[in-house]
Amino acid sequence: MANLLERLPENVPGDFFVDSTCIDCDTCSQLAPASFHDHGEQCSVYQQPETEAETRLALMALVACPTGSIGTNEKHDVHIGIDAFPSLIEDNVYFCGFTAESSFGAWSYLVVRPENEGGNVLIDSPRFATQLVKRIERMGGVRRMFLTHRDDIADHERFFAKFGCERIMHAADGGRRLRIERIIEGEEEVRLDDDLVVIPTPGHTRGHMLLLYKNKFLFTGDHLAWSPERQTLTAFPSVAWYSWAEQTRSMAKLLDYDFQWVLPGHGDIHHDDAANMHNYLESCIAWMKTRR
């Protein structure tokens, strides 16, 4: 619950505000960019929501915030934000909202499929919030839980206990220690079924992996995201915990795949056709080679 007494001075006057507990995960600025921005070390409200649509997005940001750092002076129906999640991205792919502080506000996603097509897949772990869990249950539960890397696993044990899902994680990120059901090893791609391909991409962590769904949706964890400043795909050298050189090398593997959506844990989502994505990826790799 945000504290009015801790309201950041960078907020513009008015209803919505961010307090000093913000951890600068950028979820609010990505979800409701008309109202929130990153002013440096934290986020704040730079323009109060005016329309119904802007207010709805601000309430979604309030719900999605991992630290409960967003508050309002006026009363709102918070269910507007709660009921918006999981929020449809395209086709049968959803953003879960309800990010977890233990994953530093990383975004998680849900692929909804009939049981005879392999069932639902949860990519990384949202907060185990009752309202979200009930919604996911009504949407068919979780058959598989794909964990891109060790930083974004949050409440995976509680989702496993609730849904009995098969969790998938790389050995090099501690999958065995965490008693994960399906351990991936090495760097070869692993096909989970006709539509799901696991692509190991060491760099951010040693056991980082991506998941490609239907050659369209690429779930990228902390490996790859969109740069609104440079208007191309990018990676983050300052958080290449394992090896930037390895991340650059494993990024090049993605040139062999088609995808139209980049859906990261941290950083901006992007959608474009496969040819443009390929070009952006090439520019990203060229840029990575200039960095150390």
Binding site for ligand SF4 (CB under 6 A): 18, 22-28, 43, 65-67, 69-70, 105
**E strands in the chain:** 16-18, 36-38, 43-45, 70-72, 87-90, 93-95, 109-111, 121-123, 144-146, 166-170, 182-184, 190-191, 196-200, 209-213, 217-221, 225-227, 232-234, 261-264, 270-271
Helix axes 244-252, 274-289, angle to 10 degrees: 150
Residue 101 CB, nearest approach to ligand SF4 (Å): 8
Q: Which CB sits closer to ligand SF4, 33 or 141? A: 33
Q: How far is the CB of 135 from ligand SF4 (least distance, A)?
A: 20
CA atoms within 13 A on the CB side of 245: 0
Smallest separation (angstroms) from ligand SF4 to the CB of 169:
25
Neighbours of 1 (CB within 10 A): 8
Question: Pairing relation of β-strands 144-146 and 166-170?
Answer: parallel
Asked if 46 contacts 12 with a C-beta cutoff of 8 angstroms, the reply is yes
Least gap, CB of 18 to ligand SF4 (angstroms): 4
Nearer to ligand SF4, 49 or 66 (CB): 66
Of 68 and 174, which CB lies nearer to ligand SF4 in the complex structure? 68
* Amino acid letter, residue 223: H
In angstroms, give the least distance from the CB of 42 to ligand SF4.
6
* Distance of closest approach, residue 50 Cβ to ligand SF4, in angstroms: 19
Distance from C-alpha of 134 to C-alpha of 110, rounded to nearest angstrom: 14
Token reading at 220: 């990228």
Closer residue to ligand SF4 (CB): 39 or 143: 39
Using the minimum distance from each CB to ligand SF4, give the nearer residue, 28 or 142: 28
Write down how long the chain is: 292
The DSSP element (H or E) to which 63 belongs, if any, is: helix 52-64
CB nearer ligand SF4, residue 124 or residue 173: 124
CB of 21 to ligand SF4, least distance (A): 7
Backbone region of residue 98 per phi and psi (left: phi > 0; alpha: psi in -120 to 50; beta: other values): left
